[in-house]
Amino acid sequence: MYIDVNGITLFYEVSGSGPAILLVHGNGEDHRIFDETAELLKKDYTVYALDSRDHGKSTRVKTLGYHEMAEDVAEFIRIMELERPYFCGFSDGGILGILAAARHPDLFSKLVLCGANANPQGLKWYWYKIFALMETLSHDRKLRMILLEPRITAKELESITIPTLILAGERDMIRESHTRYLASRIKDSSLRILPGEGHGSYIVHSRKLYYFMKKFLEKPLS
């Protein structure tokens, strides 16, 4: 399905019934990475799986930035009249969740952040070098965005007061110290470093993410 937001068109799929949950993918991917997770979630939730701008079947743009993409998420929720949905974002999708929650405190009821970072220095140095080399060769705006953004401040992280589950793999491309920094700044957060997992091994075409999320989503809001 398609929806117009902020002068562009986003593609999304919706399935299931129950409380709404948004799933947002990472850089260079589309909503299909969550197919296995969505299949399990839809038993208890209405699942909205989005393609971010310049990804999947959504509108291509000349310039790309996390702030605009986060506002796309907020506008999608407003237009669809979703009542404080749950949100799960992987990598870039997690960044969008942080930015949207910081800007719009009443937008979500709970956040699940997977392999997210608050700034480019959150990447392990060799991954940053790899992305820099790839961008030099390809001039890919998605890679350029990774090298320059986000620039999320401690104050913005501290402004997030909703329950937040922070996940990262033991072998993630995000530095573990950075993931722990996010958890230390987001007040009502819980952190799980997943043994043996990489950046997306428990998410991309995997059922594991659902089981990591299940208890967190089922816990009543205080």
46-73 residue pLDDT tens: 999 999 999 999 999 998 999 999 999 9
Domain of residue 136 covers 2-218
List, for the chain, all residue ranges whose pLDDT scores fall below the cut of 50: none
pTM for the full model? 0.97
Residue 200: φ, ψ to 5°: -125, 10
Question: How many domains is the chain built from?
Answer: 1
Q: Which residues contact 179 (CB under 8 A, 6 or more apart)?
A: 122, 166, 168, 172, 191, 193
Q: How many residues does the chain have?
A: 222
CA-wise closest residue to 68 among 86, 55, 87, 83: 55
- CATH for 38: 3.40.50.1820
pLDDT of residue 139: 95
CA-wise closest residue to 22 among 98, 76, 88: 88
86-90 and 164-169 beta bridge pairing: unpaired
pLDDT of residue 221: 82
